[in-house]
Amino acid sequence: MNDSTRFDWTPWIYPGPQRVFTPDELRRAGGDAWPDKLSHYLYVNVLVLVLIFYNEMPRTLAPWVLVGALALVWMSLGVARMLWRQPTRRRLNVASASLALCVGAGGLALIGTPYRDSVRTALPFVAAALTLILSAWWFLTVYRSQQIATRLGEQEAQAQRVQLALRLATAQIQPHFLFNTLASLQHWVDTRDERAGPVLRSLTRYLRATLPMFAQDRLAVAQELQIVRSYLEIMQARLGGRLRWHEEPGPGVDEALLQRASLPPGSLLTLVENAITHGIEPSLRGGAVRLGVAREGQVLRLSVRDEGQGLSPDAHEGLGLRNTRERLRAQFGDAARLQLQPAEPGCLAWMEIPLPEDDAR
């Protein structure tokens, strides 16, 4: 018989969700606080119900019923909070069995007392209350488990989108840039041009840094800057006098800060590539690229300004910028920004990333 068609009887005697979340999963998706309004709602409703039937109960038993009902709500909410923090079928069934045993033992103890008739009269109500509590625990456990599982699924989907963006960014190392650089190198080697050696060293540094960097979630700004320098050295050799570039570190920026601050790999490189491809290369006169790094309060501002042909009126954001914006949002949320704006001459692209907590204080 196929396992898929076999009747599963375990939920009938051992109900509850089958998935058990790890501590890390609960930390990532199960950190919601217990809704206190629900506790207040239950206390008020039980108190109102007991008061409605208060005069129908024996005078000597009524106060104990009131105290017992409130104690039962308090205990039930304590178990509910436990299940909210860690919704497992084991905890659910242990709590359910313990409650049933306590209620059964209490009923048996009262049978031999003068309240025997009252116990028999209240038996249907006790059974109904017990069923209601156990059903509420079961519903809460299943709901909470599904809620956590859904959030984990959303986080996994977000992680997959980020990984897709990383793969797309990896593909953006521009085959035509590599082919053109290799073609230039081959020509310079054949003609024994002195530019071949420095460009080959720069290309080696560039490839050694860029090929593995997209396997990381974050990259130190200092490492990103080194990759950008190698790229600009290669492009300067290829474009000759049409390209000039300058690095402009701002006040309060040192190597230690750049090692601690991080960003999605290739973010700054994408801005520089856009400046060269869409600003400098299409311009016959070429121009300069200024690379700025400045600390502004609790953020690090990275800017790329080119003196190329500037933004066209119908310019739109390309795939590289969209990927970079998405990766910044995935890592920093609204704390990171990326903008392009016209400059005179050329174009200014900048991004702001939050500094590490120790540096932001």
Domain segments of the chain: what residues?
9-163, 172-360
pLDDT at 1: 46
pLDDT at 321: 82
Architecture of the 172-360 domain: 2-Layer Sandwich (3.30)
Confidence of residue 6 (pLDDT cuts 50, 70, 90): low
Cβ 354 vs Cβ 332: under 8 Å: yes
349/339 Cα distance (integer angstroms): 6
Evaluate if residue 107 carries a pLDDT over 80: no
Q: Which two tokens stand for residue 115?
A: 């309240």
190/247 Cα distance (integer angstroms): 33
Helix and strand element counts for the chain (H, E)? 13, 7
Q: Is the pTM of this model over 0.95?
A: no
DSSP 253-314: --HHHHHH-EE-TTHHHHHHHHIIIIIITT-TT-EEEEEEEEEETTEEEEEEEE-SS---TT
* Strands 243-249 and 219-220, bridge-based pairing: unpaired
Evaluate if residue 282 carries a pLDDT over 80: yes
pLDDT at 28: 85
Confidence of residue 221 (pLDDT cuts 50, 70, 90): very high
135/139 Cα distance (integer angstroms): 6
Q: What H or E segment, with its residue span, contains residue 40? A: helix 36-52
350: helix, strand or coil: strand
Evaluate if residue 7 carries a pLDDT over 50: yes
Q: List pLDDT tens digits, range 30-59.
A: 888 888 888 888 888 888 887 887 777 667
Could you tell me what percent of the chain has a pLDDT over 90?
Answer: 24
Q: Comparing 48 with 118, which gets the higher pLDDT?
A: 48
Evaluate if residue 78 carries a pLDDT over 70: yes
The crossing angle, in degrees rounded to 10, of helices 175-190 and 221-239 is: 50
Q: Report the amino acid identity of residue 112.
A: G
Question: What is the mean pLDDT of the segment spanning 209-229?
Answer: 81
